[in-house]
Amino acid sequence: MSAASLVYGYVRSSIDRPETRLREEPRFSASLDLVALPTAVNVARMFISDTLNRWHALCVEDHMEAVAAELVTLAVEATKPDDGTSWNDLTELNPITLRMFGYQRHIVFEVTDVHPEALRRPENLQQDSGLHLVDALANRWGSSMEPRGRVIWAELAV
């Protein structure tokens, strides 16, 4: 999802089909650039906790942290260095960007990574999968390809 689509209120109700919303601009926004390493998940939790505290939206903190942890894990797993690569052998670390947008009735969290394909919704979400948790906690979620990379997002009501 592009920044413009969030600012002008277009969010995806499913993975592939856009749904137009009222042209509500976000009341708040925050972003954080990281690299695709396993430590990004814990940093994402701290980012969310701090951001929601500043926005006085702690009512969704637990659910937002759980959803964000799953989405960041997906981004890291898809773009991290190969297992067993030593720090001396690293030639490049892939970036991921976390962004949050606070609206009057919902908050959108998104992760952008460099994976070349949008996340596809599995036909049957398994009970023990992270996406099942995202599906259960988020009002809606999805993935799209944008010029800056793959974006995975979720929307939670406040």
Q: What is the pTM of this model?
A: 0.82
- Domain membership of residue 76 (yes or no) is yes
Distance CA 40, CA 21 (A): 31
Q: Does residue 16 form part of some domain?
A: no
Identify whether 96 is part of a domain: yes
What is the per-residue pLDDT for 83? 78
64 against 80, higher pLDDT: 64
* Number of domains making up the chain: 1
Alpha carbon of 25 to those of 21, 36, 77: distances in Å?
11, 29, 32
- Residue 5 above 80 pLDDT? no
Residue-level pLDDT at 104 = 92
- Return the axis-axis angle of helices 61-79 and 39-54, rounded to nearest 10°: 150
Residues 6+ apart with CB under 8 A from 136: none
Look at residue 119 in the predicted model and tell me its pLDDT. Answer: 87
CATH number at residue 96: 3.30.565.10
Q: How confident is the model at residue 127 (pLDDT cuts 50, 70, 90)?
A: low
Share of the chain above pLDDT 70, in %: 84
**In this predicted model, which residue has the larger pLDDT, 5 or 43?**
43
Q: Is residue 21 part of a domain?
A: no
Greater pLDDT, 134 or 20: 134
Ranges of H-type helices in the chain: 3-7, 39-54, 61-79, 130-137
- Domain with 149 in it: 27-83+91-157
Which residues neighbour 96 within 8 Å (Cβ) at sequence distance 6 or greater? 33, 34, 35, 36, 40, 72, 75, 76, 79, 111, 112, 113
pLDDT score recorded for residue 21: 52
Q: For the segment 14-41, what is each residue's pLDDT rounded down to a tens digit?
A: 333 334 355 789 999 999 999 999 899 9
